[in-house]
């Protein structure tokens, strides 16, 4: 074995150590550079760092960074150093060089088909920036030839930097796409005409849009990440509990309606439904809850119903007018054509019918006038001191002509204090109520009218043993034009004006009317009226 002199070995060792140190410096530098590059997700930060690093390495006079632009499908200037964009435009870059640089994936010296300054001896290089999949852009650098920037070590460094920059740019691209998608989805969630809440399987709120916050009257503030049980009111928690239970069982829930009280005088009708959230693999991820403010659709529904009511009303009124008219006309025709002029008995009988039917017609017309006066707020009453017995006495004869198949039982004690009332209007009230009681009772049914003192008021009941009022209709029978639809069982005519007028008359006397009813058992209308204080 040959032994080398120690001096030589020392020289060799020194060189090795120096090389290793350089290598280590290089590695450290590379590490720092890539860390810097990859730590940024904003495009301008990445390009600035890239250009700084390259300045450090090759000390260019000027440079220009071109990045691929999706929209124009071309490379556009993204950043320049030491050269103006206008001047840059005067350079006509040979595209074949760029293609070659991309294809080879390394530095290339650029040539220009036209050069603004042919005497310039600057070296122009192209550094392609690529990711694994695509060409992202390139860097043009202008350097002095004497600086000898392109040493093998520098070229190695630059190649590495180009790869890192490519990765950083691609990351940035993905990141901005991700950001854009996130923003896009957020915009959808916020713009959607409804409230949206998502919770995960641990009951944590993962998303809630402004509409949901507003609908539930929640204080603004970030509640994403909180458990819904900790931040929602009891009633909302209960509602979500229910939805969650059903959604976990069936995968979704059908919309249910409930009146949600936000504050003392703000109640909104909410429609709520939910479905199970699944991830790509089909695993349960949470629940999505959708809230709809039904106030708008309720209003539409109300208008539609009103329209329907009006149509029905016109048809009902037409029927109600035709019935007495046809009776009158038939009796008159028969009297003119067929009744013996000397048959006074028959003539009198017929005239009585005609008279009654004329009254019925005129009552109907009064009802129509009354309702239009009520509408126009011109329904006047004339108050006088009058007893309930007087009122009922005036009512009974009018009922006799209407009906004699029922048993009308009047129970009004004598000596009740007087009322301060409009007699005609009160008569109208009782005719309406009693006519209804008779109309909606089977033949032979009992109809009661009772009066008594209750505290400082007169309480008067009109009750029957008739068909009763379905529960769903009972709150609506005082609405004008509203008629209980029982045409599947009975064809009972009417205009739907009687009870609204009664209601209005009682209210304008400072009284109250209420109703209790059992289907097929009968109804009781109860009136409370103040006594005349004088």
Partner 1 sequence: MKEKKTILVVDDMVQIRNILQFSLHKEGYDVILADNGADAIKQVSGDDSLFSKTVDLIILDIMMPKMDGYEVLKKLRSSDSTKDIPVIFLTAKAQKKDLAKGIEAGANDYLVKPFKLADLFKKIKQLTNDSL
Render the burial of 190-221: b for 16+ CB within 10 Å, e for the rest.
eeeeebbbbbbeebbbbbbbebbbebbebeee
Residue 331 binds to partner 1 (criterion: CB under 8 A): yes
Query: What count of other Cβ atoms lies within 10 Å of the Cβ of residue 422?
Result: 19
- Tokens (6 digits) for 205: 């709120």
Strands 457-464 and 123-130: what pairing?
unpaired
- Tell me how long the chain is: 534
Q: Is 281 exposed, middle or buried (0-12, 13-18, 19+ CB in 10 A)?
A: exposed
Kindly identify the residues of this chain, within the stretch 342-371, that bind partner 1 according to CB under 8 A.
Answer: 346, 350, 353, 357
Q: Tell me, by CB under 8 A, how many residues bind partner 1.
A: 26
Residue 493 binds to partner 1 (criterion: CB under 8 A): yes
Which listed residue (327, 396, 416, 420) binds partner 1 by CB under 8 A? 327
CA angle 355, 360, 366 (to 5 degrees): 125
Which listed residue (59, 187, 315, 355) binds partner 1 by CB under 8 A? 315
For the bound state, the minimum distance from the C-beta of residue 336 to partner 1, rounded and expressed in Å, comes to 10
Residue 401 binds to partner 1 (criterion: CB under 8 A): no
Which listed residue (325, 364, 515, 528) binds partner 1 by CB under 8 A? 325
Stretch binding partner 1 (CB under 8 A), from 2-10, 47-55, 162-170, 314-322: 314-322
The residue (of 335 and 381) whose beta carbon lies closer to partner 1 is 335
- Long-range pairs, 498-503, Cβ under 8 A, ≥24: 498/367, 498/432, 498/435, 498/436, 499/432, 499/436, 500/371, 500/374, 501/367, 501/370, 501/371, 501/374, 501/428, 501/432, 502/428, 502/429, 502/432, 502/433, 502/478, 503/478
What is the rounded distance in angstroms from the CA atom of residue 242 to the CA atom of residue 236?
10
For the bound state, the minimum distance from the C-beta of residue 432 to partner 1, rounded and expressed in Å, comes to 19
C-alpha distance from residue 141 to each of 33, 145, 292 (Å): 19, 12, 60
The residue (of 114 and 340) whose beta carbon lies closer to partner 1 is 340
The residue (of 305 and 486) whose beta carbon lies closer to partner 1 is 486
- Taking residues 437 to 476 in sequence order and writing x for each that binds partner 1 by CB under 8 A, - otherwise, the string is ----------------------------------------
For the bound state, the minimum distance from the C-beta of residue 335 to partner 1, rounded and expressed in Å, comes to 10
Give which of 534, 529, 500 is closest to 426, Cα–Cα: 529
Residue 492 binds to partner 1 (criterion: CB under 8 A): yes
The residue (of 360 and 480) whose beta carbon lies closer to partner 1 is 360
Stretch binding partner 1 (CB under 8 A), from 44-52, 113-121, 333-341, 371-379: 333-341
Residue 328 binds to partner 1 (criterion: CB under 8 A): yes
The residue (of 130 and 436) whose beta carbon lies closer to partner 1 is 436
Residue numbers at the binding site for partner 1 (CB under 8 A): 315, 318-319, 322-323, 325-331, 333-334, 337-338, 346, 350, 353, 357, 487, 489-493
């Amino acid at each position: 074995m040959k032994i080398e002199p120690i001096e030589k070995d020392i020289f060799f060792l020194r060189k090795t150590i120096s090389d290793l140190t350089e290598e280590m410096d290089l590695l450290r530098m590379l590490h720092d550079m890539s860390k810097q590059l990859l730590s940024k997700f904003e495009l301008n930060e990445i390009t600035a760092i890239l250009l700084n690093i390259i300045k450090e390495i090759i000390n260019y006079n000027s440079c220009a960074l071109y990045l691929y632009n999706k929209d124009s499908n071309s490379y556009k200037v993204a950043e320049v150093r030491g050269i103006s964009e206008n001047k840059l435009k005067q350079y006509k870059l040979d595209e074949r060089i760029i293609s070659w640089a991309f294809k080879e994936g390394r530095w290339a010296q650029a040539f220009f088909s036209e050069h603004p300054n042919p005497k310039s001896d600057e070296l122009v290089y192209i550094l392609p920036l690529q990711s694994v999949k695509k060409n992202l852009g390139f860097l043009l650098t202008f350097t002095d030839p004497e600086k000898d920037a392109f040493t093998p070590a520098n070229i190695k460094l630059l190649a590495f930097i180009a790869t890192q920059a490519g990765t950083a740019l691609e990351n940035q691209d993905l990141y901005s796409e991700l950001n854009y998608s996130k923003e896009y989805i957020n915009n959808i969630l916020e713009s959607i005409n409804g409230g949206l809440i998502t919770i995960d399987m641990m009951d944590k709120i993962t998303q809630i849009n402004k509409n949901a916050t507003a609908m539930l009257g929640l204080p603004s503030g970030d509640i994403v990440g909180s458990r819904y049980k900790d931040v929602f009111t009891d009633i909302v928690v209960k509602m979500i509990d229910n939805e969650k239970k059903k959604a976990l069982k069936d995968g979704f829930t059908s919309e249910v309606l409930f009146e949600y009280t936000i504050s003392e005088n703000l109640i909104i009708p909410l429609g709520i439904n939910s479905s199970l959230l699944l991830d790509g693999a089909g695993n349960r991820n949470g629940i999505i809850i959708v809230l709809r403010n039904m106030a708008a659709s309720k209003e539409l529904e109300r208008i539609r119903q009103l329209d329907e009511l009006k149509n029905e009303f016109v048809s009902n009124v037409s029927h109600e007018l035709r019935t007495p008219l046809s009776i009158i006309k038939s009796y008159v025709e028969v009297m003119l054509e067929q009744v013996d002029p000397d048959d006074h008995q028959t003539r009198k009988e017929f005239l009585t019918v005609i008279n009654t039917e004329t009254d019925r017609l005129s009552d109907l017309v009064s009802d129509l006038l009354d309702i239009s006066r009520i509408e126009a707020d011109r329904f006047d009453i004339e108050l006088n001191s009058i007893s309930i017995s007087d009122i009922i006495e005036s009512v009974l004869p009018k009922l006799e002509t209407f009906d004699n198949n029922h048993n009308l039982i009047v129970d009004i004690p004598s000596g009740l204090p007087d009322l301060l009332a409009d007699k005609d209007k009160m008569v109208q009230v009782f005719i309406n109520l009693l006519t209804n009681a008779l109309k909606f009772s089977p033949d032979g049914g009992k109809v009661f009218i009772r009066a008594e003192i209750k505290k400082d008021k007169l309480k008067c009941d009109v009750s029957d043993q008739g068909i009763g009022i379905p529960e769903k209709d009972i709150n609506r029978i005082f609405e004008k034009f509203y008629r209980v639809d029982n045409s599947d069982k009975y064809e009972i005519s009417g205009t739907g004006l009687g009870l609204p007028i009664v209601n209005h008359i009682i209210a304008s006397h400072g009284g109250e009317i209420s109703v209790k009813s059992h289907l097929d058992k009968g109804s009781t209308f109860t009136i409370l009226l103040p006594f005349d204080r004088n």
